[in-house]
Structure 1
């Protein structure tokens, strides 16, 4: 019985892969060619990679036995597992948590492949599709 309580006290953090920074680096190189060839105000285009890198660092879903927290660029929202009716995958890449009141919450970085981590963190409230 000590094992479930130990795992429930440690939250699981699901993040965007840090390898996404490599793609942002290539985008930066492409934008640099525009900045260096164009007028001076084209330097404002370099804000785009900064914002994208900030998104990669900031977006995440943190889950424990009682709650799940979706963190976005400008804030975060915490919901109790009891208030979640289920998860679904629509046209978006990330999972959507369907609340009992009918609203939905996007869970950043939660994909079909990371559902086993969410299953462990939620103490089985999210079913594991691989079992």
Structure 2
């Protein structure tokens, strides 16, 4: 696991490259939060997941740094480049990246979790007959 918080590169296409990192934050009396920071062309966007009722952002057992989950069973690991790419795609679709700033990651989580689950589901072999 990375501990140095250095920026990583996410190449979307030949002209679109994001620098990104993930941090776990604690505030005085505030709940834990996981923050994915994206940087492109001088525009900084933060996608923030704050712990709360039915929402876990890293932290204590059984959580881990970068892990975010909700009461509906949606879970992603923000340290995985595929998850970051899915978040970038979903945030771009909603117009959240062009101006920068801060966005609530919980609004993106269901779509991203479904996208990642679909990507992990193997397709049927081409010669396989259709199911029942």
TM-score bracket for the superposition, by shorter chain length:
under 0.3
Provide the TM-score with structure 2 as the length reference.
Answer: 0.25
Kindly name which structure, 1 or 2, has the bigger radius of gyration based on alpha carbons.
1
